Amino acid sequence: MITIAILITVILLLLSGTPLFAILAGVAIGTFYFIAKMSPEIIMGEMYRMTSVSALIAIPLFIFLGYYLTETQFPKRMLALFESWVGWFVGGLCLAAIVSTGVFTAFSGASAITIVAFGGLIYPMLKGKGYSDKFNYGLITSCGGPGILLPPSIAVIIYAIVAGIGVQGLFLACLIPALLLFSSQFVYSVIISRKERVPSLPFTFKAILKATNDIKWELPLFIIVVFGVFFGFFTPSEAAVSAVIYALIIEGFFLKEVPWNKVPGIIMESVKMTGAILLIMGFAMAFTNFLVDQEIPRQVYDFMKPYMSNKYVFLFYLNVLLIIVGCVMDVFSAILVVVPLIVPIANIYGIDPYHLGAIFLVNIEIGYLHPPVGINLYVSSMRFKRPVMQLFFDVFPILCFLLVVLFLVTYCPFLSTALVRATGKAITYKLM
């Protein structure tokens, strides 16, 4: 009964628009004081323990990097680069859009930001090639999503910290699912390109050389962040420090696209976001410890056990739950509220923690694309002045392809675990 009352209270407060940090603070203080009969001061101790995780340093740095790059011409140059490389394929322009927006989402931390940053660039290019508006709006609304599974995604780092698993390991676990999501979007793009008889771009080395030369100063960012983290040359924190220093030097001294007097404002914006995330994380981790001490996940499991005969049924219900969560919460809130509940239950069913992480992140991004509160639909609606439900019908064909990938990721665990086991990156963080 206590568990149900807590969940109902949290849902009602979320629906009322109460800030998440206030909800978690109230719930954590209330449960420790009234239920566990412990002083709320213990929450401060739990929040302090969180600071011992070295990967935490990467969060404010990568958030700043995302805000900073949004102020530059980096998105435009990146799109031009991928267009020169793959534009001659059938659907090549779409592939360039899919890859470039995915990479930018990884850096910016949110696919909604990518819609704003790339929408004005991609739409006229697709329209000029002869693609229909239905396809254009659907692709732009959905194509950046898989990027939250790639380095240096903040969502992956926060999930790893909350779930107590290795950040590098989770990035590896999400790599193949991300590639499958990209591939599914590209397959749909090829089908539409053939159906609408859209011509491909001519292949020229001159265009490739020009686009590569234009972005040459920013290419090392990919090496530092993506390859550095994947191959273990950098920890996420080391990659974050190196990437921020490099970006400041290149954009500030060589390209001079961001005036130095604008940097303090960017820092302030990123600090606001960082502060909100860390405050929510602190209260969430304290509340997580309460859930563990009171064996709440076990109670939830006992309640649901009659309806879940095996782990495959559990995974089905989990997908339904997470898609619903994804359409009413942002990814950070979803991680901090839901993960502490589902991880212990998944452990009971013997589900690999890295597999669970990949399932979770794929689900949440898919949830952004459907009503009633899918955030990407609303951001795209504001950006293009198009009704939300019309955008949902635009996105729906791509959503079907993404759901096929979700099915594969859910029921083929080797897609998530093979690289982790092969490289031995399953390093855990002891937070509890």
Q: Which domain holds residue 304?
A: 2-423
Residue 334 located in a structural domain: yes
256: which 2 tokens? 């001079």
Residue 428 located in a structural domain: no
The three-state DSSP-derived secondary structure of 22-58 is HHHHHHHHHHHHHHCCCCCCHHHHHHHHHCCCHHHHH
Residue 429 located in a structural domain: no
Please write the tens of the pLDDT for every residue from 64-75. Answer: 888 888 888 888
Residue that is written with structure tokens 């694309």 in the block: 369
Give CA–CA dist 228/240, Å, rounded.
10
Residue 432 located in a structural domain: no
* Residue stretches of the chain with pLDDT short of 70: 1-7, 10-11, 14-21, 36, 40, 46-47, 49-55, 288, 292, 294, 296-297, 328, 372-373, 425-432
The confidence score (pLDDT) of residue 36 equals: 67
The CA-atom distances, in angstroms, between 32 and each of 10, 37, 49, 162 are 16, 6, 17, 20
The confidence score (pLDDT) of residue 250 equals: 92
**Cβ-Cβ contacts under 8 Å for 374 (sequence gap 6 or more):** 326, 327, 367, 368, 392
The confidence score (pLDDT) of residue 377 equals: 87
Q: How many residues comprise the chain?
A: 432
Contact 68, 258 (CB under 8 A): yes
Residue 235 located in a structural domain: yes
Residue 430 located in a structural domain: no
The confidence score (pLDDT) of residue 429 equals: 44
Closest by CA to 328, choosing from 375, 293, 273, 272, is 375
Q: How many domains does the chain have?
A: 1
Q: At what angle do helices 388-411 and 167-195 cross, to 10 degrees?
A: 120
Residue 431 located in a structural domain: no
Residue 145 located in a structural domain: yes
The confidence score (pLDDT) of residue 431 equals: 40
The pTM score is 0.83
Closest by CA to 236, choosing from 425, 71, 410, is 425
Please write the tens of the pLDDT for every residue from 292-348. Answer: 676 766 777 777 777 777 899 999 999 998 988 887 677 877 888 788 889 988 998
The confidence score (pLDDT) of residue 430 equals: 42
